[in-house]
Amino acid sequence: MYLNIFQWFPYEKTNKVVKLFPNNKEKNNNIKSKNFGLPTNGLSYFLEFPKNIKEKTVDEHLIFIATKDKIKWLNRYFSLEDLNKRLIEIGKNNVVSKEQKTYTLIK
């Protein structure tokens, strides 16, 4: 199974969806064990409140997509709809799971 993680920024006008994993430092997304964790290799991820948001809170989303085959994804998608179109191209038989988790950033 191959894991791909995307971050969705609904408040952005373009490039609303960005691929987080796999990436340049964490290239192997073939999950062979239930004991898989991120970040790997002593790396870390961090969150930053967007500069263009005037509100005190903002919601962002992580989208986890697991597939049977290794799929070539773009690093950025203009919209969530574009990512969903790619999922349709891949086909239901190849998608093992798709989960979305929402989190709130506070200024």
DSSP code per residue over 30-99: B---S---SS-TT--------TT--SSEEEEEEEEEEESS-----SEESSHHHHHHHHHHH-TTTEEEEE
| pLDDT tens figures, 7-51 | 999 999 888 999 999 999 999 999 998 888 898 878 888 889 999
Quote the pLDDT of residue 14. 86
- The answer for residues whose C-beta is within 8 angstroms of residue 35's C-beta and 6 or more apart is none
| Termini Cα distance of the chain | 37
Query: Which amino acid does the sequence have at 104?
Result: T
Rg (CA), the chain: 15
Report pLDDT for 33.
Answer: 86
Average of per-residue pLDDT values in the chain = 93
Q: What is the pLDDT, as a whole number, of residue 78?
A: 95
pLDDT digits (tens, 9 = 90+) for 45-77: 888 999 989 999 999 999 999 999 999 999 999
Distance CA 103, CA 61 (A): 6
